[in-house]
Amino acid sequence: MTLLKRLGALLCLLPGIGLSAADAPLVLTNHLGYEREAVKRAVIRSHAGDAYDRFEVRAWPGDAVVFEGAIGPGTPVDKWKDWVFWGLDFTGLRTEGDYTLHCYGGGRVIRSLPFKVQRLILERNTLSNAIAWFKTQRSSGFLDKADRNVPFRDSDRRMDAHGGWYDATGDYGKHFTQLSGTSYFNTQQIPLVAYSLFRALDILTERGDVNFAQMRRRLLDEALYGADYLVRFRDPKASFYQSVMGMGPGKKPEDRRVGNYESKAGDRQSYRAGAGLAIAALAMAARQPEGLEHEPAAYLKAARDVFDYLEAHNAELTNDKKENMVDDYCALTAAAELHKTTKDPAHLAAAVKRAESLLARLTPQGYWRVDDKDRPFFSPSDAGLPVVSLLDFHGVAPAPMRKRILEAVRKSLAYELRVTAEAANPFGYARQLVQHRDGRRNTAFFFPHDTEAAPWWQGENARLASLACAARLAAPFFPEDGDFQARLRAYALDQLNWILGLNPYDACMLGGTGRNNPEYIFLGTWQYENVPGGVVNGITSGMTDEHDIDYNVGYETTGVDHDWRWMEQWLPHTAWYMLAVAAGDRPAAAGEGPAPER
């Protein structure tokens, strides 16, 4: 019996339910709980013909009613099975404690499992595990020994490429990016991890809470470990390499190679293929008092050397020999972090140039134009990064540009809010404007199956967490508009709630938290085990109908290796989740908010 069915059976034992496990209605919550002062939402998943009209929040244990509210009409969502959903809101409950929800209708009561209301609930209960997860992904043992003298894929050369992080629970390769055979879907991987660790360190330091003291120590340790790998994994005369590939079904040490799975792209990486964020992370490492294997000066030299090379040669390294928006926001992040470290006017000028190019890509409608025409930007993992890159630059941008940056951030995020709200969507799941391979465009919940990346498509927890991060970082910059701030904060929480169990499958997708944690099954085996603190790929559109929804359609059903699409833990998911949680649901910090004109 699956965990979901066991949970259904447990719920059926509660008074007033009495339905079979497969059909039992569920009260869906964030499995962990809710921030004390923030929006608190839950959703009932049931079927047509049911009706719910009111709910109670009760203390647990003890059963005392502490909050009551009405439940609005139920609604289907797109073609998500035969489900109907009812949303409810109990934001007014602001007392810390443990609670359950009791929902009433048609003579029936259905009850949630217990959850918490607590100040800094995500930081206190999940951030440490997310940081620790990266250490579980460190390259080690015989694989790392092999990487100290690993051959290149297509030559007799060898290099020392030890260190870094394995890409996923089922992939012992170490990648700067994937999908580099496409022009618009480069995913940010090892460089994103290093960048997000340093960025989370900066944010938690700014927040100044003594409870973060030991996490800051661990963030610095892990970030510098990553920076050492970035220094190591490069051509001293050019840019970084792409991958150490864990090749072969046995993933044997002797089969490892430096190279690129995707022959359409070069061996050395462009800004959009991981080099931009790698430069940024190295520039951030150079601001630390000391390094680990390398000293701060070595981090800075590597960052400057690769940046200078790419400023002259970036387009040559792309798959289509043309820069696009992904190059812009990755290069902007690189130049901005270099300028913060060096105060070099050349780095500031490069950042201004990239920011101008990025700002020019925002369409009147509010979506980003990724190419030199009007193709919409959408990303399987990094949808929030354009906004994050602009906000990273904002504090050091020339004063006249700061206002324009915030106007663009506001317009972009207002578009995200509008697209998300245009369809029945009680979960607040971040919808997106997508383009199919044949040029068709539509707004949708999930990444299409038929893009240039096909047959690649998977769950999008990294995309959701990146948008949560962007919204959380942006909210403090708009103190004059409380409604917009509140909408951004609620939008961010909706994405994190989805990851933490408030989704139609009642599955917490952060390992070691909540219930129904995904088990990664590979060709009918459980040899690749997920680890607490890691976030899995997540929920997708339907296998055969993209208006439907699917999750964990296992090998025993498909007969094909599809399980990874949902159940594999992957670096970008946890990196963005960690950074979004570190960003917090907070008021303006020092240096944030609109800057005065000079």
Instruction: Please report the DSSP string for 35-59 in residue order.
Output: ETTS--EEEEEEETT----EEEEEE
The H or E element that residue 598 is part of is none
Beta bridge partners of 83: 47
Taking the CA of residue 358 as centre, how many other CA atoms within 13 Å lie in the half-sphere pointing to its CB?
A: 30
pLDDT reported for residue 268 = 87
The Cα diameter of the chain in Å comes to 75
What kind of fold does domain 3-118 have according to CATH? Immunoglobulin-like (2.60.40)
pLDDT reported for residue 262 = 64
- Residue ranges, comma separated, of all CATH 1.50.10.10 domains in the chain are 121-583
Of 596, 594, 359, 595, the residue nearest 477 (C-alpha):
594
pLDDT reported for residue 589 = 42
Instruction: Give pLDDT < 50 ranges for the chain.
Output: 1-22, 264-265, 589-598
pLDDT reported for residue 5 = 39
pLDDT reported for residue 23 = 64
pLDDT reported for residue 250 = 85
pLDDT reported for residue 595 = 35
Helix (H, G, I), strand (E, B) or coil at 85: strand
Q: CA-CA distance, 153 to 259, in Å (whole number)?
A: 5
pLDDT reported for residue 208 = 95
If you ran DSSP here, which 8-state letter would residue 318 be given?
Answer: S
Question: Which sign, positive or negative, has the C-alpha torsion 259, 265, 266, 270?
Answer: negative
Q: CA-CA distance, 596 to 598, in Å (whole number)?
A: 6
pLDDT reported for residue 156 = 87
| Cα 104 from chain centroid (whole Å) | 35
Q: Is the pTM of this model over 0.85?
A: yes
Q: What is the phi/psi pair of residue 27, to 5°? A: -95, 115
Residues near 202 by beta carbon (within 8 Å), at least 6 away in sequence: 284
CB neighbours (10 Å) of residue 139? Answer: 21
Q: CA-CA distance, 176 to 192, in Å (whole number)?
A: 8
Beta bridge partners of 115: 99
If you ran DSSP here, which 8-state letter would residue 112 be given?
Answer: P
pLDDT reported for residue 9 = 37
pLDDT reported for residue 587 = 60
Q: CATH number for 121-583: choose from 3.40.50.1820, 1.10.8.100, 1.50.10.10, 1.20.120.420.
A: 1.50.10.10
pLDDT reported for residue 266 = 53
Of 126, 103, 107, the residue nearest 29 (C-alpha):
103
Pairing between β-strand 441-444 and β-strand 432-435 as defined by DSSP bridges: antiparallel
- Residue ranges, comma separated, of all CATH 2.60.40.10 domains in the chain are 3-118
Helices assigned H by DSSP within 515-558: 555-558
The H or E element that residue 280 is part of is helix 275-285
Q: CA-CA distance, 111 to 120, in Å (whole number)?
A: 25
Terminal C-alpha separation, the chain: 66
Helix (H, G, I), strand (E, B) or coil at 137: coil
Q: CA-CA distance, 323 to 316, in Å (whole number)?
A: 9
If you ran DSSP here, which 8-state letter would residue 544 be given?
Answer: S
Query: What's the chain's Rg over C-alpha atoms?
Result: 24
Taking the CA of residue 445 as centre, how many other CA atoms within 13 Å lie in the half-sphere pointing to its CB?
A: 25
For residue 513, with 0-12 CB atoms within 10 Å meaning exposed, 13-18 middle and 19 or more buried, which class applies? buried
Question: Which sign, positive or negative, has the C-alpha torsion 81, 86, 90, 96?
Answer: negative
Of 334, 172, 314, 190, the residue nearest 247 (C-alpha):
172
Asked if 381 and 572 touch (Cβ cutoff 8 Å), the reply is: yes
Taking the CA of residue 596 as centre, how many other CA atoms within 13 Å lie in the half-sphere pointing to its CB?
A: 1
If you ran DSSP here, which 8-state letter would residue 525 be given?
Answer: B
